[in-house]
Structure 1
Amino acid sequence: MTTVTRAEILALRQSMPLAFRPSMEMRLKRWGLMLGFTALFAWCLYDFGFTPERIINGLSRLGRVLSFMFPPHIWTEWDQVSDILTGLGETLAMAFLGTLLGAVVAFPLSFLGAKNINRFAFFRFGVRRGFDIIRAFETLILALVFIRAFGLGPLPGVLAIAVGEIGVLAKLYAEAIENISKKPVEGVVASGGSRSQAIRFGMLPQVWPVLLSITLYNFESNVRSGTILGIVGAGGIGFILSDRIGAYRWDEAWSIIFLIIAMVYVIDALSGAIRERFIGKWEHAK
């Protein structure tokens, strides 16, 4: 078998440049795609009112708003500090409970959506489309619906996160189950194990690290989502932040934003440590 070196290819490209050019049809397609994308981008800017004057005026007002945030507010009374800490705790609890409830429901459903577990294609198709329907509803919309049903407070936020996580986690769990290696499962079956034992001892040890990583990542994301849900009335620190912004108390709003950033950073660090601890242990066990 003859091997062509890179130097030979460069020499041929220099001696016969037209032979390496894309065909006219390919070039026309590229130019057509570029022009179509550029036209769509320009139309969106025009339709949404992206004008230089509007951008400059917006940045000027944003600068004034930011100037009101400094210096950040420092609370000196324990009642005020207690309210802020309670709001942060509620947001964290909403994210934790919502993620946990969603994961508990999504885990068994994911088996119904995995093609290597559920062999009934029509049934599996229906389950997968059910996941899609759940994911189609944004968590914020679900929170508004549950607020109407259950009233203001953290409960609608927990339910909104939980329902949204069922669709997301079930899909991700099912894909993780589908991507496992068949050899451990076949080994359990060859040694006389039942189908349930093949799942327990051949499949689950492979997917536990992936499921844990997915769940922790979604928990981190839900901590941020919990802040947004609080703004629409689902309790937590977002409700307090919305109140401070509505009252034009920008210095307190900035202090709350800083605390939210710090909380998300701490959650991210703890999640990373958990992944390092458990996933690393599973990888060494292999």
Structure 2
Amino acid sequence: MSRPASALRRAALADLAGLRSRHPDAFATPLRHRLTVIGIVAAVLGLAIFGMVRLDFSLWRILAGLHRLGEFAVLMLPPSSGGQLTAFLKALGETLAIAFLGTLTAALFAFPVAFLAARNAAPNLFVRFAAKRGFDVIRSVDVLIWALIWINVVGLGPFAGALAIACADFGALGKLFAEAIETADRKPQEGVTAAGGGALHRLRFGLLPGVLPVLASQVLYYFESNTRSATIIGIVGAGGIGQYLTELIRVLEMQQVAFLVLMILVTVAAIDFVSGRLRQAIIGKVVH
């Protein structure tokens, strides 16, 4: 197929002038379209320049401060646990537990609500609108804000961190689940209906088998991402290894900070590798 396509391309290029004369509308870009593109580019550039001015952006300040970055890098060498390896490993396990429980809780709660937000599962317009706007409101609040809220509700510790991740991911996973349900293949559902199945049968046997692999893949990705989020929220007192990070940075124990950063990097890389293989297996790809 590539040879005929290549021959057709050569013939078109050889007669390019003739094509332009016979089909001027296909080659001419409307003035309105050009002005729209120019306007969008100018607006983006103008917004970027305005943001730089408002944020006091200065390339000179960056260059002048690079030596401080170098000083911090020197202070981090060589990485050292400072005799707290056991405590660091325990905190790392706590971080993984926060990410796992938060993600699992969010997925379990978002799964049934997502059906209320999907057009092909919930025919009632008002129910869909309420579910979608609920997801939007919840996911518009950052996980750090949720962490601060739950710290004031249940106190400091990993429980607040798991609740923060669960709340933040409930809105995000709910939106993704609803979109996956809406874009599911309709043929299996129509087959179940044609065989005499009701609405619940259509969802159970026609819809769920097609969307579950996609939903599971999304949950695995969020678990991987939440491992990093659990580290960040630990800085504000929501448990995990982030608490050690903020304390050590404040007292400038940079060698131990470097050790913690390396632990986090290795852990995230391992989770990324494992979850990537699991996602490939779930969606039906061959794992080599």
Is residue 56 from structure 1 mapped to residue 60 from structure 2 by the alignment? Answer: no
Contact 2:237 2:243 in 1 (8 A): yes
Is residue 216 from structure 1 mapped to residue 223 from structure 2 by the alignment? Answer: no
Q: 1:166 to 1:9 in 2, by over 3 A?
A: farther
1:279 & 1:25 partners in 2: Cα distance?
A: 44
Identity of aligned residues (%): 44
Give the Å deviation of 1:91.
Answer: 0.4
**Which of the residues 7, 11, 16 maps onto 1:10?**
16
1:274 corresponds to: 278
Is residue 156 from structure 1 mapped to residue 163 from structure 2 by the alignment? Answer: no
2:15 & 2:114 partners in 1: Cα distance?
A: 50
Residue by residue over 1:245-284, the C-alpha shift from the partner in whole angstroms, topping out at 9 and shown as x without a partner, is 1110111101100100110011111112222333328x9x
* Letter matched to residue 264 of structure 2: I
Alignment: residue pair count: 276
Is residue 67 from structure 1 mapped to residue 105 from structure 2 by the alignment? Answer: no
Moved more, 190-199 or 130-139: 190-199
Q: 1:166 to 1:23 in 2, by over 3 A?
A: closer
Q: 1:36 to 1:193 in 2, by over 3 A?
A: closer
Is residue 225 from structure 1 mapped to residue 229 from structure 2 by the alignment? Answer: yes
Is residue 180 from structure 1 mapped to residue 168 from structure 2 by the alignment? Answer: no
* Letter matched to residue 11 of structure 1: A
Give the Å deviation of 1:42.
Answer: 1.7
Give the Å deviation of 1:74.
Answer: 4.4
Give the Å deviation of 1:27.
Answer: 3.6
> What is the TM-score when the length of structure 2 is the normalising length?
0.89
1:205 & 1:46 partners in 2: Cα distance?
A: 53
Secondary structure of 2:284's counterpart equals helix
1:54 & 1:30 partners in 2: Cα distance?
A: 34
Q: 1:277 to 1:107 in 2, by over 3 A?
A: same
* Letter matched to residue 13 of structure 2: A
Residue by residue over 1:29-50, the C-alpha shift from the partner in whole angstroms, topping out at 9 and shown as x without a partner, is 4333333322222221122112
1:225 & 1:44 partners in 2: Cα distance?
A: 27
1:13 & 1:70 partners in 2: Cα distance?
A: 66
1:113 & 1:15 partners in 2: Cα distance?
A: 52
**Which of the residues 200, 215, 235 maps onto 2:204?**
200
Moved more, 24-33 or 88-97: 24-33
Following superposition of structure 1 onto structure 2, how do residues 1-286 of structure 1 map, counting pairs within 5 Å? Answer: 5-8=11-14, 10-12=16-18, 20=27, 22-75=29-82, 77=83, 80-280=84-284
Q: 1:37 to 1:272 in 2, by over 3 A?
A: closer
Give the Å deviation of 1:8.
Answer: 4.8
Give the Å deviation of 1:25.
Answer: 4.2
Give the Å deviation of 1:121.
Answer: 0.8
Over the aligned positions, Cα root-mean-square deviation in angstroms equals 2.3
5+ residue gaps, structure 2, are 1-7
Residue by residue over 1:112-137, the C-alpha shift from the partner in whole angstroms, topping out at 9 and shown as x without a partner, is 11110100112211111011111111
Moved more, 217-226 or 64-73: 64-73
5+ residue gaps, structure 1, are none
Contact 2:217 2:282 in 1 (8 A): no
* Letter matched to residue 278 of structure 1: I
1:30 & 1:192 partners in 2: Cα distance?
A: 53
1:63 & 1:33 partners in 2: Cα distance?
A: 40
* Letter matched to residue 64 of structure 1: E
Give the Å deviation of 1:14.
Answer: 8.3
Q: 1:180 to 1:14 in 2, by over 3 A?
A: closer
